[in-house]
Amino acid sequence: MSELASRLVRVLDEKRYDAMASVFTEDAVVATPTGEARGLAALVEKAQTNRPDGVMTQSFLTNQLITVDGATATIDANLLVVFIREGGSSNLFGERYHLTAVRTAHGWRISRVGGTPLWEAPVPDLKRLVP
């Protein structure tokens, strides 16, 4: 289960939106302060909007508390995301992540993502090292 949550943030950071089906169920829901997206196509669109070209992210998912109940699991974790914008401001974002996963014919997949934003802070003078 920990590996599934780690794959989620890696897919988002690397903008591998074609791999979202390996992480999410087809009817997954993502609810954030900027709105809710339902279904895999809407999730991909939301991810692309939050991480447009020119924005690099690096996410750290820690302190995962996982509860499995049959074919359903919950994952509560701390999420720290660094947003680096080319030619613009960069910032850090801290959130408590709430994931629900279900066992499918293809293995565990995330069916719901929610979160509680905790803080956000600007980061001066960050430079992107990788082109």
Per-residue model confidence (pLDDT) at position 79: 97
For residues 114 and 33, give the distance between their C-alpha atoms in angstroms, rounded to a whole number: 9
Higher-confidence residue: 7 or 33?
Answer: 7
**Does any domain span residue 82?**
yes
**Does any domain span residue 129?**
no
From residue 48, give the alpha-carbon distance in Å to each of 38, 53, 74, 94, 123: 15, 8, 25, 20, 22
Residue-range definition of the domain harbouring residue 73: 2-123
**Does any domain span residue 72?**
yes
For residues 78 and 96, give the distance between their C-alpha atoms in angstroms, rounded to a whole number: 5
In the chain, the number of structural domains is: 1
* Local confidence band at 125 (pLDDT 50, 70, 90 cut-offs): low
**Does any domain span residue 130?**
no
For residues 122 and 120, give the distance between their C-alpha atoms in angstroms, rounded to a whole number: 7
Which CATH number covers residue 42?
3.10.450.50
Q: State pTM to two decimals.
A: 0.90
CA dihedral in degrees (80, 81, 87, 89; nearest 10)? -40
**Does any domain span residue 128?**
no
pLDDT digits (tens, 9 = 90+) for 17-64: 999 999 999 999 999 888 899 999 999 999 988 888 888 999 999 999
